[in-house]
Amino acid sequence: MSLHRKAVLTLARRSILKGALFAVALASISMIGVGTSRAAGNVSILETGSSLLYPLFNLWVPVYTKSHPGVRITPQSTGSGTGIAQAIAGIVQIGASDAYMSPAQMKQKPLLNIPLCISMQMVNYNLPGLNQRHLKLSGPVLAGIYQGKIRYWDDAAIRGLNPGVNLPHHVIIPVHRSDGSGDTFIFTQYLAFSTPEWANSVSYGTTVSWPAVPGGLGAEGNPGMFTATQDNSYSIAYIGTSFENQIEHAELGIAMLKNRAGSFLLPSTRTADAAAAVMVAKTPKDERVSLIFAPGAESYPIINYEYALVSRNQPSPEMAAALRQFFTWAMSVRGGSSPRFMNAVHFVPLPAPIAKLTAAQIAEIR
């Protein structure tokens, strides 16, 4: 059983305490006429982008639209790169992304980058006989694997992190995203922030020039990453925690990752909360910030804000009201940020100070 599931009761208790804080954080929105579905009129909202955020939208939409019959929301899993591009182009009302928009993208169109929750990323592997062991891995070791410098599972660098584990002498199959991906953005940030050689060569982004590794595989979306890992023994991949249920059902491995302080941690509510708490004071008003490789002994190294990219200026008051109302509901611990939804995809609600910043951004939608 994962640490996420062990933390379900803890998250439920925390959500009760956070309820009052979220109410304060969202109070500024309550004055702008989003309290009833009638205020939104009959509108259709198209959302596209992050395959990590897609499972949460799939849970949210049926529940929300049932109580707001005048609003139709259509979610699509196309990857964060597409979500950003189509939001900039005005093709969709909501671009979903694990990555915040770059300064160059903001010059194209200065959209609101609105965090809705916090997600984590796993490093998973299909290692026969060892999938029940949480292998310890670090940024430099992962960089070596994805650069083709660490080719075998029993390489000295991996053995050094996992003394006593009988690792096989078998070629590693690294799997990466072939589409524009926020998951690639945050994974390569972890490699870049922890490994200067990676930072100076590959760097990070929603797309990167992956080093040519014999046997390496490309896959589209988190579903493709999961399938490629499941179908290929001795593979390794980076997959968002909204797919943890599938990972556990397939009995694939979940690595313990080395953080900035040198601790090896699993993704969990506790370790995500610890990392998020450290980064609260470093989050600017526009909330475009990396949470990767946060300091702190208990901070999981790959967490991020899940963003909705939205234009401040909407084509009609009805559309603006519909978006404000939906995001307000999504942020509420009595709505989209309740344990009912967060636990299902192994996400974490925003800390109250960040929820307040998000509320201020939502209020800018007109």
Same domain, 251 and 336: no
Q: What stretch of H or E contains 123?
A: strand 112-126
Residues in the chain: 366
Number of domains in the chain: 2
Of 259, 274, 289, the residue at which a domain comes to its end is 274
Alpha carbon 98 to its chain centroid, in Å, reads: 5
Same domain, 172 and 228: yes
> Does residue 294 form part of some domain?
no
Amino acid at 349: P
Distance between CA 189 and CA 187 in Å, rounded?
5
Q: Quick check: 58 pLDDT over 70?
A: yes
Same domain, 146 and 258: yes
Q: Quick check: 300 pLDDT over 50?
A: yes
How high is the pLDDT of residue 41?
63
> Does residue 209 form part of some domain?
yes
Same domain, 15 and 96: yes
> Does residue 298 form part of some domain?
no
Residue of 300, 283, 303, 270 whose CA lies nearest to 358:
283
Q: Which domain holds residue 268?
A: 121-274
How high is the pLDDT of residue 177?
98
Same domain, 131 and 264: yes
Contacts for 231 with CB less than 8 Å, ≥ 6 apart:
none
pTM of structure: 0.88
> Does residue 281 form part of some domain?
no
The angle subtended at Cα 346 by Cα 187 and Cα 199, nearest 5°, is 10
Same domain, 325 and 270: no
Distance between CA 204 and CA 201 in Å, rounded?
9
What CATH number has the domain bearing residue 253?
3.40.190.10
Of the listed ranges 23-37, 69-83, 229-243, 265-279, the least confidently predicted one is 23-37
Of 223, 253, 274, the residue at which a domain comes to its end is 274
How high is the pLDDT of residue 118?
98
Q: Quick check: 285 pLDDT over 60?
A: yes
Percent of the chain with pLDDT strictly greater than 70 = 89
Query: Per-residue pLDDT tens for 124-169?
Result: 999 999 999 999 999 999 999 999 999 999 999 999 999 999 999 9
